Every structure is written in structure tokens, then in C-alpha cells.
Chain A
Amino acid sequence: MLDHTPVAVMERHALRINPAKTCQPIGALYAASGLHRCLPHSHGSQGCCSYHRSHLTRHFREPVMASSSSFTEGASVFGGASNLVQALGTIFSTYGPDVVAVHTTCLSETIGDDIPSIIARAREEGAIPDGKHVIHASTPSYSGSHVTGFAAMAAGMVNYFAEEPTSSRRRKDGRTRVNIVPGFVEPSDMREVRRIAELMNLTPTVLPDTSGVLDAPATGTYEFYPKGGVTVDELRGLGRAVATVALGPQASRAAAVAVENRCYVPREILDLPIGIAATDRFVGVLRRRAAYEVPGELLDERGQLVDLMADARQHLHGKKVAIFGDPDHVVAMAEFVADLGMRPVHILTGTPGKSFEKRVGTLLAGRSPDANVRSRGDLFLLHQWMKNDPVDLLIGTSYGKHLARAEDVPFVRYGWPILDRFGHSYFPSVGYRGGLRLMEKILDALLDRRDRDAPDEEFELIL
């Protein structure tokens, strides 16, 4: 497996091998699927849309709907305006969405299509029925990554819909409104941050919200627009919140900044609430914003997580870990494994951005001084790091399975995408309960390995 990867690291300047990221449009498509009755639309060649739908479907095992401008050679030469106008007319007639969320691609960005003016033309030509919306985000595939694509579309939703506040920020029931940008996470995670906010006596608007969309039940009837997703009305009311909490700066900061700019709602930029410390920071912010004491139910969950951390620490202490994936996920996981007494030694994301390395450094605070930390890295490099400094555990997306097999290392699937296992869209990784689940996975991987490798006389019933 991966037999051609040499041990010696050669600096590469042009060749990307085994990427730890993909392109912006897929993130935009995912974000837009968290908007109620929205059809995501890819302004580019058919292949983009096809690849993105396929890949998201493989991860969520749910229908993922999106349409395409189906560029041909002519459109590529003369511009894609007429394709988009025609597409909008066809979409509203055929699929009847409330919103079409257009994201661009490398093709349409290289041509220089100006989406707002094409949308205006479509409206003039009657392709967009009254009361229906078309929003857009600029997501050229040649910058950022799928994570920044998600960020751009989340911000696009805010920019198109958020209004200046006109009514009171406090609801009649005394609950305070809060906006939460959950990050490029699972439907289960979005559901969980909502639950936590509600426990903190807040009324959250989660944007986007793919729960109820990409974890829809089997009922015998296919719903083209499932019941989930943030609504246009909720987005209009973003200005009524006391704060916008952005979970994971790379995926969520842009939307929080957009709400602040449009509605003067202050932003709180936090790490993804993965593990105990990051969840504490999240709950702490909610406590302050809600002016509401953390209820017993949540404290019990926290206490259970601390309890498990204490119970299991002998199996974790000092274990060397390699972590890769999306920057917000990796930053939070690096802190969590350090808090569990493990040593993150290789920490890598494919998404560009220097803040990643800085944030990892701050959170580890000298706890893993020789760690390799890299943004804009790839899995070829990570594999070479693992050959040079072997680890006890690999944590990352399904693309890590080949590395784990090549180096015979226990492997925990975490992040996006997970293409070869089940359950991630149903069981959260965020919050205290998510911490319990992650610990269960980490401990299972390590203890299965211990059992596998133990000689008969050391093969223990009780561990």
C-alpha cells in the first residue's frame, strides 16, 4: 500500500500529491443545502456539480440535490450568462424552490461572469418568479478550499437576507436569540449545538442547518425539500440576536462578520466545540450572552466526560497521534488529544491559511514542542512524516485509511469526508456528548490494537 512513497522528504513546489482538501464549490453546495427549500446551483461545467453531488452523497448517504449551468464550449467562450438565465427559468418551473443558491466555479470565475448582474437580468426577463430568491457566493476552485467555500456561501446567505433589526432582541418568552454558525460539520453536530444553546435558555438560529435535510428519515416518500434547513425568515431576523457565535473560524467567521456588518450584532469567534476545553469555551460564551446559569443536565454531561477522561487515562497517556483534515476540526482535535494526555506530533491541513499553525501553537502551549504543524500540506507529506516519526494513532478522514494500512497504525475516522463507515451524520462529535463519542472511538482503536498485538499470556479480559 502506497509503496512508492519515499521516506526522505523532498520539498515540492508544484506537485500536489494526495490532497487534504478539495475545492470551494462543494463547500458552498453543502452550506446551501442547509437553507430550507433551497436548490444549490453550480455555475460551471456539468462535471463539477456531478462530482460534488456524488461525493456529498457518498458521505451522507442521502440524496443531495443541485443543478448546473451545464457549460459547453460556446458558453466558455462567450460567457455563461445565457446558461444561467435559462437555468433559473427551468429550475423555478421544474423544481419550484424558494431560493436558488448559485455558487461559481473555476470556469465561470476565469471567464469573469458577474453573477449579480446576471441574476438581475434573469429577474428582468421573468425567469425568477415574484417572491422567489436567487443568492450567490463567489467560490473559484483555485483559491481556498471546500472549507472556505462553505464560509463564502454561509456569508452569502447573510448578505442576501439579513435585515437591520427592527424589533426587540428579546423574545416574548424571555428567551434571548443567538445566531450560531456551526461550521462545516455533520447534521448531527448542528442538531447538537442547537440543543446545547436551547439548554442555555437561548433561541438559536443555526445557519446553515443541514439537520433534517441530510439525515432525513425513510418514510416511503421522497421529499425533494426535506423539512430541515434555516428559513429565509430566520435569516431576515438575524439582526435580533444578542450575538453571532461562529464555531470554527475558517468555516464560520465570514458569516459572523457579515451579520455584524449588516446588523450590528457582535460576533464571537470560537474553535469548534470538539473536546472538553473548546466546549467549555462555547458554553461559557453562551452563559455570558444568555446571562443564564449552566443547567444541571449540561453539567452532568460535562461531568461524565471528565469521568471518562479520568477512567481511561492510562490507555491514552503519552500516545503519539497524527491528525489531519479540515483546519477547524484539526485545531480542536489537537487540543482535545493533548487534554487527554496524548501527544499530537503531526498536525496537518490542506486548506491554506497561516492562522492554523498559530492557533495550534497557542492551544498546545508547549505540550508537544516538536510537533510538525502544516497548513497547505498534503497526505503524501503526512505519510512521510509518519515514516520518519511513527505514531500510535491516526485521526482523520477516510483518506487516511491507506496511510493507516501502509504504516499499520490504528485509525479513527473523523471529519469530512467519511466514505467507508456509517453513523457520523446521526451521532455528534461536538459538545460534551460528542467528546464521549470521540473518546469511545479513540479507545476502541487503541485497545483493539493492544488486543490484536498481545501474546496469549497478556491477552486480558479486563482492561
Chain B
Amino acid sequence: MTLEPVPAPPPDVDGPPGGSTAAGSVAAGLAVERVAEPAAPEGFDLEAALAAAAASDLSAPAEPLPLPASARRDGPALNGLIDRMVEVYPPKVARKRRRQLRVNDPESPPEIAANTRTVPGIITQRGCCYAGCKGVVLGPIPDIVHIVHGPIGCSYYSWMTRRNQVRPGPGVANYLPYCFSTDMTEDEIIFGGEKKLAEAIREAHELLHPRAIAVFSTCPVGLIGDDVHAVARKMRKELGINVFGFSCEGYKGVSQSAGHHIANNGLFQHVVGTEEPDLPAVTTPFRINVLGEYNIGGDAFEIERVLTRCGIEVVATFSGNTNYTEIATSHTANLNVVMCHRSINYLAEMMETSYGIPWIKVNFLGAGSMAKSLRKIARYFGDADLTARVEVVIADELSQISAEKDEIRARCEGKTAMLYVGGSRAHHYQELFRDLGMPTISAGYEFAHRDDYEGREVLGDIRIDADSRNIEEIEVHPDPLNYRRRRSGAELAELAEGGLRTKDYDGMMREMPAESLIVDDISHRELEVLIEELRPDVVCSGIKDRYVIEKMGVPSKQLHNYDYGGPYAGFRGAITFYREIDRLVNAEVWRFVKPPWDGEPLASALDTTA
């Protein structure tokens, strides 16, 4: 099986780069670290590594780490714990919550209720549709002017708060330190805001001359009936640049998840496939898009560094450290790799249908899973040189971190973690803990769906409720000009047979210990009970929980903003995370929570004769 660079190979290039590295990315803007030719560590046996890689089933779930005795609970004890978690709720609420609490069985994942409404009044981690659309998926693209149509708050809160880093490169605008809003007032609520929106777009164009302008609807916009799409169409015509809108009002769906879907639809309809790449710059067939990687704390930089060493070119990242042109030309990649399945699987599916690009699930978090993900990419391309190069890079990278990892592991092994966050991270980060020998005793997502827990095989069984039905499913057909099947059905079947399934994600539960506890959309109350009862050594969550957890004397690691650290992806990121966990679970501060005289009778303090 060979793949051509897209759309046709330049005449002087006949294969993957065995020597020189991949050329600069399609867009001039991407800053790529100049890389040295990878060299294997001393004693590395390439033949053995290749044989081991070829024999491995890359789609098999990782074996769960067993629970340590201290964290093991039998069935009745777990049921008692669940009872305690829900006992203060009104009976109806307790019944609903029980459906979102599951005792795990990795062999046969239990059905969990997910992506259902949060009961009003319950203190939840969840945000809104707008946050998922603008805040997560679109917001990181630096050279689009993102205008939020609504009162000021929505734009303000999503301004520089997600740590999407970018190195825009020459000629690429960076508007990320800017916040744009129509700052809607009572007048627009009463008389409509379309005029003000059009004027705001005009002003943005006049001041900044951006490549594209995106418009995001907030709650009142839907209610007063402003048609942001009509305004966008009108302004596209008037200004001659791409202007497009998103109906991502906060009340849609049940969490950020609805916004991801709306963002995927909009990017697919308005940006992906709208430009053709600069052909002479395309020198390798190993061109991929990284989907669902938002470059929090620089993760994408590290991922790109390693991929580049391997000779794999990133066309576009959705949507960290990327730019408009990269996304517009992303239909020319030969493979989509999916990091955050929850937020971006829609685009992966649509791009496969429309352009013939297969997708595979990867996880770049954890040294072990990073290596496995690279092997997946190599296996997909099926090129001997690439495969060898990937093995050399893996060996080299691991050799650089292994000594320190072992040293940290000795201090952390057997300690326990809990993760309640996001729609992928609560799964992905378990791999970093696995590297340190720390089992995850309980985990859950903030806004994921059943497939993220149980695996995509349950997709057909998921009941579509009223909240999901309101989110548009766009109909996608093969693109008449640009559809090019990268791999035939037979080739994909052959890959699956050999241990690489495309279009697949097994979910969190298969990789978690038996009798660990799965909690969907955890509430504040449940978090408190779980920490009290299970006393984990570290809890991974977000900013709203951070100080609750630490007031209880348990270290907390934020996995939305990384506590302003990172990167944690890739090999260098992994070692940074190990150090972070070492810092957390072995910190000095907790010794001081109780004063030294705590529990000492006052009289003995006065007794100076002793």
C-alpha cells in the first residue's frame, strides 16, 4: 500500500523522507523546530523492535492496573458508597444520579447514563454550548476574528482563559490576546441586534483586515431572533472575506458537548476544503491532521516536535497552534488522528465521508501511549522506512526520560488517582498515572457521551433525546472534486485484522480497573463524599474543584488549565507531568495543615521540668 502526497507527488520525490525531514508545513506560518536526524540509543536492536511492533495489537485496550488493597471495596461496600453519595438528594434526583454512577467491569463495560441534563440546582462542573463551540473548538484559531454576539460576559470569560498557545509564524495574524464582542445592551434586546452585529463586523474589518470573521451567538440572540447566518452572508458579500456564524446559544444541549458538534459542523461547512495547498511545498505522503488537540500549555508543540522527528507532517491541528489556511487545506491530509474523541469525532467522520480520509484514535499523553500512537500512524502508512524511523525515535525519546521516570515512579507507585474532567482527559491522563504505577480508583467525564465510556460499539444503542435532537446533524456526501479514497475497504479490513482498527474508540471503561467507580457529570456533593471515603493521593479536576479538594488536604491537579504548567503530551511532556505528580503527592505543605501542638494537652506544654 502506498499513498501519494496530495494531490500529486512532486516529480523529484518518490517516497517518504529517509534522510531529510519533512518539509515545512503547507502553510508558511507553522513554526517547526529544526530537527536533528534521530539516532538510536546504544544497544538498540532495531530488528527486535520492528518485530515486536509488527506483532502487537495496537487496538487492544491496555490492561488495567489492579486496585491496591487500600482502595479495594467489595460489592456491598461500593453500593454503600453509592448510597451515601446520593442520600441527600430528593428521591427523583437520587434515582437519576444512580444511573450515572457505575461500578466498572473492564471485560463488559456497564451501561452508563451520560450526556443527559444536569438537574437544576445541582452544583455541576459543566458549562454551556457556547463554551464548547467558541471556547473550545473555534477560539484557539489565531487569525480568525471571533466576534461574540451578545452581552459582554460571554466574550470576556472566554478571553485568554484556556491557555491555547500559538506560535503564529510569519505573516499569520494572532488575535488571541484580543476579545471581540457586540456588547449587547437593552436597546438591542428590544429592537434586535442584527444591525449592530453587521456594524461590528465592518469595524473589525476596517481596523484589522482579518482573513476571516466568525460570529458566535449567545443566549439572548436566539430568543430575540437575530439571524447571525444571514448577517454573516451579507457581510461576506460586502467585505469579500469569509464571514460565518454559529448558533451556539448557551442553552442548547446539556453541556459544552452540543457546542463541539455545532463547531464541527461550522468548520466543515465554512472552512475545511476551501483552499488548495501550495503544491511544491508538499513533499511527503505522511501528512496527517491532528484532531481534538487544543495546545493547552504547549502540548501541540511537543506533539509536532516528535511527529516531525519521525518524518510525519502535520497539515492542520484542530485547533491548537494552527491557522486558517491549515484548516482550509486540511482535506489534503492522508490520515486524521483523533485526540479528543468527544469534541471532534464529528469532523473526523464528515471528512472521511466527504474526502475519503480515514481516522484513527490516538492518545499522545503518557510515554507508553505516545509510543503506541506513533506506531499506529506508522502501521497505517505501512512504509518500512517510516516504521523504522518511528522505532528509532521512540527508543531515543524513551532513553532520554527513562532514568528519571524510574526514580519518580519509585516515590509514587501504588498511590491512587481520581480524575473527573472533560470528555477525554479523564481517560487520557490515566496513561500518565499508569506510567508511574498509580491506578485510577475512580473517574468520570464532565460532558462525554456513552461511547466515550463504553466504546463506539454502543453508538447504535444510544437513545437520541430531545436535547440532542436539537443539534443539527448535517448530511455529508463525497466531495465531487476532492474525494479521494486513501485506503480501500479491503485495506482497512486488513489493517483491522492486523491490530489497527480505524474509526474506532474503545472508551474509558475497558482500561480501568474492575470495581473502580465511574461517575458521569460528578456533582460537588459526590466529589466530597468520594474524597472522604476513598482518600485518593491526587484528584484531577478543574478550577472550580481545585480549592475544595485542597481544603480537604488532598492535592489537586487541574487538567483544563494544567495549573499554568505543561506541556504534558509527548515524551518531554510526560516527564514534566511525572515531576508534577511527584511534587503534588510528595509535597511538604500538607504536613503543616495541623499545628504541631494539635491534640497535645495544654498542661504538658507548661511542664518545663520534663
CB-nearest residue of chain A to B552: A222
Among candidates B130, B255, B547, residue contacting A62 with C-beta atoms closer than 8 Å: B547
A50–B125 Cα distance when bound, in Å, is 7
Partner of A15, one of B147, B154, B470, B550: B147
| B219–A46 touching, CB < 8 Å | no
Q: Which residue of the partner chain A has the closest CB to B93?
A: A90
User: Are A4 and B175 within 8 A (Cβ)?
Assistant: yes
Complex Cα–Cα for A350 and B181 (A)? 13
| Contact pick for A47, options B119, B128, B199, B220, CB 8 Å | B128
Contact between chains at B182 and A14 (CB < 8 Å): yes
Query: In chain A, what residue has the closest Cβ to B598?
Result: A220
Given A4-B208, A45-B250, A107-B251: A54 in contact with B120 (beta carbons within 8 A): no
Is B155 in contact with A73, judged by CB distance below 8 angstroms? no
Q: Is the CB of A218 within 8 A of B219?
A: no
- Contact assessment for A86 and B223 in the assembled complex, using a CB-CB cutoff below 8 Å: no
B182 x A91 contact (CB < 8 A): no
Contact A51 B157 (CB under 8 A): yes
**Which of A23, A41, A91 has most chain B Cβ within 10 Å?**
A23
Interface residues of B (CB under 8 A from A): 88-90, 93, 117-131, 147, 150-159, 161, 173-175, 177-186, 188-189, 196-197, 199-200, 202-204, 206-208, 218-220, 222-224, 249-255, 466-467, 470, 524-525, 528, 542-544, 546-548, 550-553, 593-594
A277-318 contacts to B, CB under 8 A, are none
Contact partners of B177 in chain A: CB under 8 A: 1-2, 402
Contact with B along A256-269 (1 / 0, CB 8 A): 00000000000000
CB pair A107–B250 under 8 Å, yes or no, is yes
Docked-complex contact B189 and A142, CB < 8 angstroms: yes
Q: Does A57 sit at the interface, judged by CB under 8 A?
A: yes
Could you tell me if B124 and A142 are in contact, using CB atoms closer than 8 angstroms?
A: no
CB distance B543 to A57 under 8 Å? yes
Question: In the complex, A70 Cα to B552 Cα: how many Å?
Answer: 28
Interface flag for A148 (CB, 8 Å): no
A361 contacts the other chain (CB 8 A): no
* C-alpha gap A398/B157 in the complex (Å): 13
Write the A82-105 contact mask toward B (1 if CB under 8 angstroms, else 0): 011011111101110000000001
Contact between chains at A23 and B551 (CB < 8 Å): no
What bracket does the count of chain A residues touching chain B fall in? 35 or more
Interface readout for A9-23 with B: 1 if CB under 8 Å, 0 if not?
010111111110111
Min CB distance, B220 to chain A, in Å? 4
Q: Is A111 an interface residue (CB 8 A)?
A: yes
Bound-state CA distance A50–B122 (Å) is 12
Q: Which residue of chain A has the shortest Cβ distance to B550 in the bound complex?
A: A218
Contact of B189 among A50, A69, A110 (CB under 8 A): A110
Inter-chain contact B251/A17, CB cutoff 8 Å: no
Least CB separation from B148: chain A residue: A16
Q: Is A156 an interface residue (CB 8 A)?
A: no
Partner of B553, one of A23, A50, A89, A220: A220
Task: Give the distance in Å from the alpha carbon of A154 to the alpha carbon of B87 in the complex.
Answer: 34
Interface centre among A106, A110, A223 (most CB of B within 10 A): A106
Chain B contacts of A1 at CB under 8 A? 177
**Chain B residues with CB below 8 A from A66, complex form:** 123
**Minimum C-beta distance from A403 to chain B (A):** 10
Contact A26 B544 (CB under 8 A): no
Measured in the bound complex, the distance between the Cα atoms of B550 and A47 in whole Å is: 24
Q: What does the 1/0 interface line of A116-146 toward B look like (CB < 8 Å)?
A: 0000000000000000000000001111010
**B218: A residues at CB distance < 8 A:** 106
- A47 CA to B524 CA in the complex, in Å? 16
Residues of B within 8 A of A25 (CB): 153
Nearest chain B CB to A298's CB is how many angstroms away? Answer: 32
Knowing A13-B203, A50-B131, A86-B120, say if A106 contacts B151 (CB, 8 Å): yes
Contact between A89 and B222, CB atoms less than 8 A apart: no
Q: Tell whether, in the assembled complex, residue A58 and residue B543 are in contact, meaning their CB atoms are under 8 Å apart.
A: yes
Q: Is the CB of A94 within 8 A of B197?
A: no
B551, A143: Cβ atoms under 8 Å?
no
Q: Contacting B544 at CB < 8 Å: which of A50, A105, A145?
A: A50
List, in ascending order, chain A residues with CB within 8 A of B204's CB. Answer: 15
Contact with B along A33-72 (1 / 0, CB 8 A): 0000000010011111011111101100111111111111
Contact B179 A19 (CB under 8 A): yes
Residues of B within 8 A of A17 (CB): 178-180, 207
Q: Which residues of B contact A89 (CB under 8 A)?
A: 90, 121
When distances are taken between beta carbons in the complex, the residues of chain A under 8 Å from B197 are: 14
Instruction: Decide: A222 and B551 in contact? CB cutoff 8 A.
Output: yes
A26 to B594, CA, bound (A): 34
Q: Can you name the residue of chain A whose Cβ is closest to the Cβ of B168?
A: A3
A69 to B524, CA, bound (A): 16
Name the one of A15, A58, A84 contacting B120, with C-beta atoms under 8 angstroms: A84
- Contact A141 to B467, CB < 8 A, known contacts A18-B179, A63-B548: no
In contact, B220 and A106 (Cβ under 8 angstroms)? yes
Q: Which of B183, B223, B525 contacts A19 (CB 8 A)?
A: B183
**A22 engages B156 (CB within 8 Å):** yes
Q: Which residues of B contact A455 (CB under 8 A)?
A: none
10 additional A-B residue pairs with CB within 8 Å, beyond A17-B180, A90-B93, A93-B93: A6-B207, A13-B203, A16-B155, A22-B152, A44-B219, A50-B128, A57-B543, A70-B118, A70-B121, A107-B223
List residues of chain A with CB within 8 A of the CB of B550: 218
CA distance in complex: A16, B262 (Å) = 25
A160 to nearest B CB, angstroms?
20
Residues in A with CB closer than 8 Å to B158 are 51
Please, which residues of chain B bring their CB within 8 A of the CB of A350?
Answer: 152
CA distance A75 to B88 in the complex (A): 26
- Tell yes or no: A423 within 8 A of B by CB: no
